[in-house]
Amino acid sequence: MLVAVEPEAEPGIESFEALYRSSCSDLHAYVRTLLGDSASAEDVTALAFERAYRRRASFDARRGSPRAWLFGIARNAALDELRRRRAAPALAPEPVAPGEDPSDAAVRRATVRRALEQLGARDRELIALKFHAGLSNAELARVLGTSESNAGTRLHRAVSRLRRACTDTTEEDRP
């Protein structure tokens, strides 16, 4: 849990608060996708923000955006948790968006969830980083420790596999 500190007490506290406010829900969704349960995701999200807060002086803007840096910290914390569990990441269900027909949304989510379960852990992680975190390919590359072109290629392949899996899953459900 972050403790409120007077802005004059430490440099960068206001920008860290802005980063927290703009990233908290996306970071939690990303970690929840990796871990598969909300309670662990809350713990790991809090741990990631705590680590980021303590290391905020080490942030280097030349290496990427604060958001990408934060998601890299969260990724490492989630992977630490998974290693402790010795389990593969699983996809957690998402709530219905406002204005969406609940039955259509449920079918669509179930199709995507089954398709994601067919993908490998690395593909699921790439998709979560891209769509939960909203990272650019350059930011993905920094988080994953690879080149931008490699990150883009891996993401394209993962999304293609997801599309095929969604199509296969939909065809299996037809009478």
CATH number at residue 31: 1.10.10.10
Say if 21 falls within a structural domain: yes
This prediction's pTM: 0.56
How many domains would you assign to the chain? 1
Q: Per the domain annotation, does 1 fall within a domain?
A: no
Boundaries of domain holding 22: 13-173
Q: Is residue 161 a part of any domain in this protein?
A: yes
Residue 50 lies in a domain: yes
3-state DSSP helix/strand/coil percent for the chain, to nearest 5?
A: 75, 0, 25
**Cα 31 from Cα 43, distance rounded (Å):** 10
Q: What is the pLDDT along the chain (175 residues), one digit of tens a residue?
A: 344 444 434 445 568 888 899 999 999 999 988 887 888 899 999 999 999 999 888 888 888 888 889 999 999 999 888 888 764 445 455 566 677 777 777 777 778 878 888 888 888 888 888 887 888 888 888 888 889 999 999 999 999 998 898 887 666 555 5
Domain assignment present for 169: yes
